[in-house]
Every structure is written in C-alpha cells, then in structure tokens.
A = this chain, B = another copy of it.
C-alpha cells in the first residue's frame, strides 16, 4: 500500500518516451490474418492492384506481416507531441465510488480536438499521401471522429480532404460537420449525387439516410477517379492497427514504470482500431508466451460481430467495390437500428483481431445500450470526463469486472481504453436523460437472413 500511494492520478510519459516505432502484432502471430481478396478474381490483392486506392507506403504496411517494429517518421513524431503522450489515468474516484478492491486504469485518448484516438492514424495516412506527392485524400465518416481527425491532419500538412458523411449524421450532427469545415475539409452528405454509386443508391432507395458501407463506396470511387487522390480508412485495416499501437505501447510503458501488470485489458470494438492498438504489446507478450493477460473486446448487443457474427470473407462496403476481407461479420447488408447511438455500428471487424479471437487469444462480450449509458453517467460524475458512447462500452465492462472483484475480494488490475469524449453525442445523452433510450438486439432470423447473402468464397 505504501508503494501504491505513490501512483499519481495521471501517469504521463515525457515527450521523449513517445514511441519511435510502431509495433506490428502480425509479426508475432503464427496464424496470420487472411489476405484481402480481389472481389472479381477472388485472388489475394497484390501491391499493384491496391495502388489505385491506397498510398504506396501504406500498402506496404498493409501487406507486411513479418516486420515487428516499423519506424515512425520524425514529422509524425513531432505531430504526436502536440497531443501525446496521452495520460494513463488511475481511476481512484471510480474505485472509491464502486467500493472495489480492484485497481482500475484507463488510457485516455480524448484530449485532442478530434475527440478520440483516430488522430493517431489520420496523421500517418495524410503524411504518406503528402510524401507521395498527392493532392489529397478521401474518406467516409459516420459518427464523425474519423472525419474530424483526418481533417485536422490534412489541414496541418496542407493537403486536401474530402469527407463523405453518412447523411443521417450530416443532418443530426451539424457541429461535427462544422469542425471538419473549420479545418478546411469539404463534407458531402452520403449518398450524394456526385458519384455513380451514390446516384445508383439514391435511385434505388429514394430518401435513404445512408450508411457507413455506402459512404465508403463513394469515397473509394472518388479517390480512384480523381487525379492525385487516394482513399484512407480509419479502422479495420492492418495498417490502422499498426498506427494505433502507440496507444498500447504508451500504456504499457507507463505501467512498466510502476511495475504494474494488468490482469485484464478491456477495449470497445467497432472496426477494431482502438482495441487493436491498445492490446498490441500485451498481445505480443501473450503470443510470444512471455506473459498471460485476459483480453476482452466489448461490442454493442445491437451490432455483435464477434459474439454472433460469422468468421468469413465478406465485403468491407455496401457497394461491393472494396476488396473482400476475412473477418467476423454480420454481413455487409446488416444495418443496426438507427436508434443506437454509438459509433460501433460497422458490420465487420479487423482481420487481425478476428484471427486472434478465432484462435482463442481474446474474449468478447456484448453489452446493451442503456446499461452502457448508465456506466457513462456514473463514470462522468466521479471521474469528471464525459465519455463517448463508444468508449462507454469499455467502461461498462470495466465496472462489471470491478464489481465482481468486490464480490470475490480479488485485487485485480484492470486496464481499459477510454477512446474519446462525448461532446458531440449529446443527442444520445439527452435520450438517456429523458428516459427515452431503448435497447435493440437483432433476432437470429435477421442475422441468418444477412448471413445468407455473404459472398461464397471459402
């Protein structure tokens, strides 16, 4: 306890201790994630086939499953210094409120204007686009964190940024849109009339409010048809998990300073960018047999790709113009209820995490929306940070673990990822405050209908 008392509320690394290399967990995986497939030939996508869509250096990172450490360019290291290292917080106040013997830590990635960890990869993808001499990048955004992060990175580097924003979000989250515009991005509601796929979807579904899968299709089309542009993506891809490894590397370095090993590492999971980044160095030790950790993915019960999805090849987008990825998926046609507030609405899951889950290296649980907001409110009131709905899935799971410790008396050390803040999610909080939030769990029949449309590959 005397040593215990010395742990500050927030463990900050110095700027010198920001990682100088990303860690590529694939290098330590015996079963590598399955390759992306060309949707036409069903053969693995080659470097050359990917070049019209992605920047060259990023394709190299996407395909590299053997190099364990990859240098972070100096300019990106300098950018990281604007908002990193992010704090590792000891949740003393939450522990006290729960009256638990558990020790709770969270890695807080929300202290930057994008409001989340997304900036860690946005700056990298924008950087390599600029290095390649490109004019700009295109992307999609749903909840808006990724679009904001990419706008910020693009403004900093002086390249152009075109964001296709799911129409319902564009209309319901005008402030997110304005943040992106303030950073100089052009923001178009999707489906738009600017693209072939957008016009097709608008014709087939008049009045549609769009989906993430549809916005991806539009952003890819624009990137491939516009001279000097490439497409970038904020989650799912191997390269994104690589960039996000800074979260876990910093968290582990901070814990190592105090000789702390977490018993359980918890992260929310949509496409996997945060979870993959947070767990990477811990998973590395586990894969190499050096240390064991429980690693838990938390997903919404409304969009349960790990816990109820199929491990199969599927399209990454609705328009079926993107490569196929082997992942836990609910089917690229699956659309969770619009009532659900979180940004964890993607039908698929990172191929890296999918393989690790399939091989038994991690667990997954699903939690319901109202219980997530209860946890969010409790956390906000004692820890002082209003969390994003996405992050609050991890809070729910961490609180439940800590309450189990209270029952058993175990002094477990819990680490979770607090990916961001909820300042642009107040419509959802309002629903919760007004008692108008409900839960949504897809039926088996709904999922079976979606699975029936999966492409026949395996």
Interface positions of A (Cβ within 8 A of B): 8-10, 12, 14-15, 81-83, 93, 111-113, 115, 152, 155-156, 174-175, 178-179, 181-184, 377, 380-386, 421, 423-424, 426-427, 429-430, 432-433
Q: How far is the CA of A380 from the CA of B153 in the complex (A)?
A: 11
- Residues on B with C-beta less than 8 A from A82 are 9, 93, 383-384
In the assembled complex, the Cα of A263 lies from the Cα of B15 at a distance in Å of 26
Q: How far is the CA of A424 from the CA of B423 in the complex (A)?
A: 8
Within the complex, which residue of B10, B178, B383, B385 is in contact with A430, where a contact is CB–CB below 8 Å? B178
A382 touches B178 (CB 8 A): no
Give the distance in Å from the alpha carbon of A9 to the alpha carbon of B83 in the complex: 9
- Chain B residues, CB < 8 A from A430: 174, 178, 181
* In-complex Cβ contact of A382 among B112, B115, B156, B175 (8 A): B156
**Are B155 and A426 interface neighbours, CB within 8 A?**
no
B8 and A426: CB pair below 8 A? Answer: no
Q: In the complex, what distance in Å separates the CA atom of A82 from the CA atom of B97? A: 15
Q: Oligomeric state, in number of copies?
A: 2
Contacts of A175 in B (CB 8 A): 175, 423, 426-427
Contact A179–B426 (Cβ < 8 Å):
yes
B residues less than 8 Å from A377 (CB atoms):
182
Contacts of A83 in B (CB 8 A): 384
Which residue in chain B gives the minimum CB-CB distance to A155? B381
Identify A386's interface contact among B113, B429, B433, CB under 8 A: B113
Q: Are B383 and A183 in contact, with the CB atoms below 8 A?
A: no
A430 to B93, CA, bound (A): 38
Pull 27 A–B residue pairs with CB atoms less than 8 Å apart, ordered by A: A8-B14, A8-B15, A9-B15, A9-B82, A10-B15, A10-B81, A12-B12, A82-B383, A83-B384, A93-B156, A111-B111, A113-B386, A113-B421, A152-B381, A152-B384, A155-B380, A174-B426, A175-B175, A175-B426, A179-B386, A179-B426, A181-B429, A182-B377, A182-B380, A182-B429, A182-B433, A183-B381
